[in-house]
C-alpha cells in the first residue's frame, strides 16, 4: 500500500504490469538523457511540441466568454426582445444543451479524421452564429443563433486537452492544461466585464459583433498556423532500438488494427542513469529504413490528412457511455460536472441579484463583479499547474521512482477548501445583505476552486486513461446535460427558495462529489487493474 492506495490483489499483479497507465513516468527537465514520454519518432512530421496551443487557447477564451457574456444584460435584453428574464436565461441553457450534443459527434469525427477539420468547422459555426445573433430582432432567431453557437463551442470542451496530449510530454502536460484553462476561465470571467459595457452603451447585438470579429480572425489564424496534431506514432521508430523501449508505450498511438505490447515498469532512477553502452549504440546505429520528408508549409494546411482510426464512427460515439463503467471516469464526470455547472450558475443569477436592492447595480457594474473571479482564476491557474507537477514529482520520488496517476488527486484538497468557502459564503452574504464585497469575493473563491479542480481532473484523465483520451473527455464533458437541467431552472428556483437555500444545496452537493476523490485515491489503482481484465471491454475500446 502506497500513501493509502490499495494495490491490486496478488492474483492479478502480473496482469497489472500491462496496464498502459502504470508507468507514465516523470522525466526530469534537467536530464538530457532521460527518455521522453511519449518517445519522439524519427518522422519530421511528428507533432510533438508544435506551437499550436496559443492559437487554440485564444479561441477557447472567446468560446468561454460566448456563453456567460449576456448575463449582466438579461434584464435589458428581455425588454428589447419582449420576453421574460427567465426565457433569456433558458436560451443560454439551450446553448449548453447544444454543446453536449456537439460533443457526441465532434469527438468521433476528430478521432477518425483528425482534429484540424473539426476545429475549423467549429470556428466557422461560431462566426456564423455571432453574425446571425448580431442581426436578429426576435427571440426565435436569437435562440436559433445561440443553438448554432453551442454546436460550435462543443469541440473546445473536449479536443484541446487531447491536442495537449498529442503535442506535449507527460511532465509538461499539467502546466499546459493550466495554460489553456487560464485562457478559458479568463474568457468566462472577463467576457461579462467587457460585454456589460457593450450591452449598456451599444446594445447586445454589438456584443455578438465583437465575437464575430474575433472568431473570424482566429479561425483564419487556425487555418494558416495550426496543422493537424493527430499522429500515428509507430513504436520502434525512435533513434535507436534500445530507446524504443516500453517507456514510450503509454502514449504511443498504435497502428490501427494492431495490438501494442504493453509496457513494463521503470523508475526515475532507470531513466536518469543512461547505460554506458547507449552512447556507443547511438553513434553506431543505422538510420531508419523508412524515412519521411517533412511536409511543406502548404501541404501542412490540408484540412483532411487521412484516417486515424479503423473504428467505425458509430462505435466511437457509443464509447463515452461505456466509459461510465470506469470508476475514475464516473468520478471525473461528477466532480467536474458539479463544479463547473454551479460556477456557471453565478452568471445566470448575478444579473438578477445585483440588479435589485440593496445593490441596485447597473449593467456595467454587474459586469465589474467578474473582476474578482478573473483575478483569482488567473492566480489559481498560474499556481495550479506547476504545483500539480511538483506534487507528482515529489510523490514519485517518495514512491521509489514509480509514478501513479492518482498523485494528481492531491490538488483537489485546495479546490475543496476554496469551493466550500465560496458557495456557502455567497449564499450567506447575499441572504443577510452584507456589503457587496462579500458576495463578490466569495464568487471569486468559487472560480479559484474551479481552476484547481480542472487541473486535477483533466490531468488525471490524461494520465490514467491516455489511450481513451478523446472518449474520456467526451464522457466527462457530457456534464453539459447535467448543466442544462440545473441552469434551466436556476432563476425560477432562486426566486422561489431564496439565495441562501439554493447555494447551501449547491455547496453541499459540491462537498459530496469532492469527497468522492478519497475512494478514488484508495481504490483507483485497483479498479484500473480489474477493468483491464475485462476482455470484451478492452476489445470494444480498441481501434480495430
Q: What CATH code is carried by the domain that includes residue 438?
A: 1.20.1250.20
Are 139 and 188 a contacting pair, CB within 8 Å?
Answer: no
Cell of 532: 483491464
Look at residue 88 and tell me if it is in a domain: yes
DSSP state of 5: B
Three state DSSP letters for 71-99: HHHHHHHHHHHCCCHHHHHHHHHHHHHHH
Look at residue 7 and tell me if it is in a domain: no
List, as one string, the DSSP characters of 299-326.
HHT-S-------S-HHHHHHHHHHGGGS
Those residues of the chain that have pLDDT short of 50 are: 10-36, 40, 49, 236-290
Which of 230, 263, 279 delimits the end of a domain?
Answer: 230
Sort residue 401 into left (φ over 0), alpha (ψ -120 to 50) or beta.
left
What local confidence, expressed as pLDDT, does residue 238 receive?
42
Question: 450: how many CB neighbours lie within 10 A of its CB?
Answer: 30
What local confidence, expressed as pLDDT, does residue 295 receive?
74
Q: 3-state class of 4 per DSSP?
A: coil
Number of domains in the chain: 2
Asked if residue 226 and residue 373 are part of one domain, the reply reads no
Angle between helix 139-153 and 53-66 (nearest 10): 150
**CA distances (Å), origin 453, targets 45, 381, 413:** 34, 10, 9
Exposure pattern of 284-313 as b/e (b: 16+ CB <10 Å)? eeeeeeeeeeeeeeeebeeeebeebbebee
Look at residue 33 and tell me if it is in a domain: no
List, as one string, the DSSP characters of 250-263.
GG--PPTT---PPP
DSSP state of 430: H
Question: 266: how many CB neighbours lie within 10 A of its CB?
Answer: 18
Backbone phi and psi for residue 481, each to the nearest 5 degrees, phi listed first: -70, -40
What local confidence, expressed as pLDDT, does residue 334 receive?
96
Measured CA to CA, the distance from residue 314 to residue 320 in angstroms comes to 11
What local confidence, expressed as pLDDT, does residue 6 receive?
73
What local confidence, expressed as pLDDT, does residue 49 receive?
46
Which of 168, 202, 230 delimits the end of a domain?
Answer: 230
Asked if residue 216 and residue 320 are part of one domain, the reply reads no
Look at residue 273 and tell me if it is in a domain: no
- Is 137 exposed, middle or buried, given 0-12, 13-18 or 19+ CB atoms closer than 10 A? exposed
Look at residue 82 and tell me if it is in a domain: yes
Look at residue 220 and tell me if it is in a domain: yes
Are 85 and 469 a contacting pair, CB within 8 Å?
Answer: no
**CA distances (Å), origin 446, targets 49, 145, 209, 346, 384:** 33, 30, 30, 9, 15
Are 468 and 541 a contacting pair, CB within 8 Å?
Answer: yes
Measured CA to CA, the distance from residue 447 to residue 343 in angstroms comes to 7
- Could you tell me the pTM of the whole model? 0.77
What local confidence, expressed as pLDDT, does residue 41 receive?
52
Nearest to 453 by CA among 498, 414, 507: 414
Asked if residue 225 and residue 115 are part of one domain, the reply reads yes
What local confidence, expressed as pLDDT, does residue 380 receive?
92
Look at residue 269 and tell me if it is in a domain: no
Which of 230, 255, 279 delimits the end of a domain?
Answer: 230
Look at residue 239 and tell me if it is in a domain: no
- Is 422 exposed, middle or buried, given 0-12, 13-18 or 19+ CB atoms closer than 10 A? buried
Range of the domain at 75: 46-230
- Cα 188 to chain centroid distance, Å, stands at 14
Q: Report, in angstroms and rounded to the nearest whole number, the Rg of the chain calculated over CA atoms.
A: 24
Asked if residue 129 and residue 224 are part of one domain, the reply reads yes
Measured CA to CA, the distance from residue 288 to residue 466 in angstroms comes to 27
What local confidence, expressed as pLDDT, does residue 51 receive?
67
What local confidence, expressed as pLDDT, does residue 20 receive?
37
What local confidence, expressed as pLDDT, does residue 292 receive?
63
**CA distances (Å), origin 269, targets 154, 408, 412:** 42, 21, 28
Listed in sequence order, the DSSP H helices in 401-436 are 412-431
In sequence order, which residues have a C-beta less than 8 Å from that of residue 153 and are 6 or more positions away?
A: 63, 66, 67, 95, 98, 99, 102, 122, 126
Asked if residue 348 and residue 218 are part of one domain, the reply reads no
Measured CA to CA, the distance from residue 421 to residue 411 in angstroms comes to 17
**CA distances (Å), origin 476, targets 184, 193, 311, 328, 343:** 17, 29, 21, 10, 16
Amino acid at each position: 500500500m502506497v500513501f493509502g492506495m490499495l494495490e491490486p490483489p496478488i492474483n492479478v499483479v502480473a496482469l497489472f504490469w500491462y496496464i498502459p497507465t502504470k508507468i507514465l513516468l516523470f522525466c526530469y527537465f534537467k536530464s538530457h538523457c532521460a527518455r521522453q514520454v511519449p518517445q519522439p519518432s524519427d518522422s519530421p512530421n511528428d507533432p510533438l511540441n508544435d506551437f499550436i496551443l496559443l492559437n487554440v487557447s485564444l479561441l477557447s477564451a472567446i468560446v468561454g466568454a460566448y456563453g456567460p457574456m449576456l448575463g449582466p444584460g438579461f434584464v435589458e435584453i428581455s425588454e428589447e426582445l419582449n420576453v421574460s428574464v427567465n426565457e433569456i436565461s433558458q436560451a443560454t441553457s439551450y446553448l449548453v444543451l447544444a454543446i453536449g450534443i456537439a460533443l457526441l459527434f465532434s469527438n468521433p469525427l476528430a478521432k477518425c479524421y483528425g482534429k484540424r477539420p473539426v476545429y475549423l468547422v467549429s470556428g466557422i459555426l461560431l462566426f456564423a452564429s455571432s453574425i446571425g445573433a448580431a442581426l436578429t430582432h426576435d427571440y426565435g432567431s436569437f435562440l436559433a443563433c445561440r443553438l448554432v453557437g453551442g454546436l460550435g463551442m462543443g469541440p473546445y470542451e473536449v479536443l484541446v486537452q487531447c491536442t495537449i496530449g498529442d503535442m506535449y510530454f507527460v511532465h509538461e502536460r499539467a502546466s499546459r492544461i493550466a495554460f489553456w484553462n487560464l485562457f478559458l476561465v479568463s474568457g468566462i470571467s472577463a467576457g461579462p466585464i467587457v460585454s456589460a459595457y457593450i450591452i449598456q452603451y451599444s446594445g447586445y447585438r454589438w456584443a455578438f459583433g465583437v465575437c464575430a470579429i474575433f472568431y473570424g480572425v482566429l479561425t483564419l489564424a487556425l487555418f494558416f498556423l495550426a496543422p493537424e496534431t493527430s499522429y500515428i506514432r509507430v513504436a520502434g521508430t525512435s533513434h535507436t532500438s534500445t530507446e524504443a523501449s516500453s517507456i514510450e508505450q503509454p502514449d504511443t498511438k498504435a497502428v490501427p488494427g494492431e495490438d501494442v505490447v504493453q509496457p513494463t515498469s521503470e523508475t526515475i532512477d532507470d531513466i536518469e542513469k543512461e547505460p554506458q553502452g547507449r552512447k556507443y549504440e547511438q553513434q553506431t546505429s543505422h538510420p531508419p529504413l523508412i524515412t519521411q520528408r517533412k511536409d511543406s508549409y502548404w501541404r501542412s494546411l490540408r484540412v483532411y490528412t487521412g484516417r486515424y482510426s479503423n473504428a467505425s464512427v458509430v462505435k466511437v460515439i457509443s464509447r463515452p457511455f461505456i466509459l461510465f463503467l470506469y470508476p475514475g471516469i464516473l468520478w471525473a464526470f461528477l466532480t467536474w460536472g458539479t463544479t463547473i455547472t454551479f460556477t456557471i450558475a453565478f452568471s445566470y443569477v448575478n444579473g438578477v441579484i445585483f440588479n435589485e436592492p440593496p445593490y441596485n447595480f447597473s449593467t456595467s457594474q454587474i459586469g465589474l463583479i467578474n473582476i474578482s473571479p478573473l483575478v483569482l482564476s488567473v492566480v489559481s491557474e498560474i499556481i495550479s499547474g506547476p504545483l500539480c507537477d511538483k506534487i507528482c514529482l515529489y510523490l514519485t520520488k517518495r514512491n521509489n521512482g514509480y509514478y501513479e496517476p492518482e498523485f494528481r488527486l492531491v490538488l483537489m484538497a485546495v479546490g475543496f477548501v476554496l469551493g466550500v468557502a465560496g458557495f456557502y459564503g455567497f449564499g450567506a452574504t447575499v441572504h443577510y445583505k452584507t456589503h457587496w464585497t462579500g458576495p463578490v469575493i466569495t464568487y471569486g473563491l468559487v472560480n479559484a476552486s474551479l481552476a484547481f479542480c480542472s487541473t486535477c481532473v483533466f490531468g488525471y484523465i490524461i494520465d490514467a486513461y491516455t489511450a481513451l483520451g478523446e472518449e474520456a473527455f467526451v464522457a466527462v464533458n457530457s456534464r453539459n446535460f447535467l448543466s442544462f437541467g440545473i441552469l434551466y431552472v436556476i432563476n425560477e428556483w432562486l426566486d422561489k427558495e431564496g439565495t441562501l437555500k439554493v447555494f447551501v444545496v449547491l455547496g453541499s452537493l459540491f462537498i459530496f462529489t469532492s469527497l468522492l476523490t478519497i475512494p478514488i485515491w484508495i481504490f483507483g489503482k485497483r479498479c484500473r487493474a480489474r477493468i483491464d481484465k475485462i476482455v470484451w471491454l478492452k476489445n470494444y475500446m480498441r481501434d480495430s
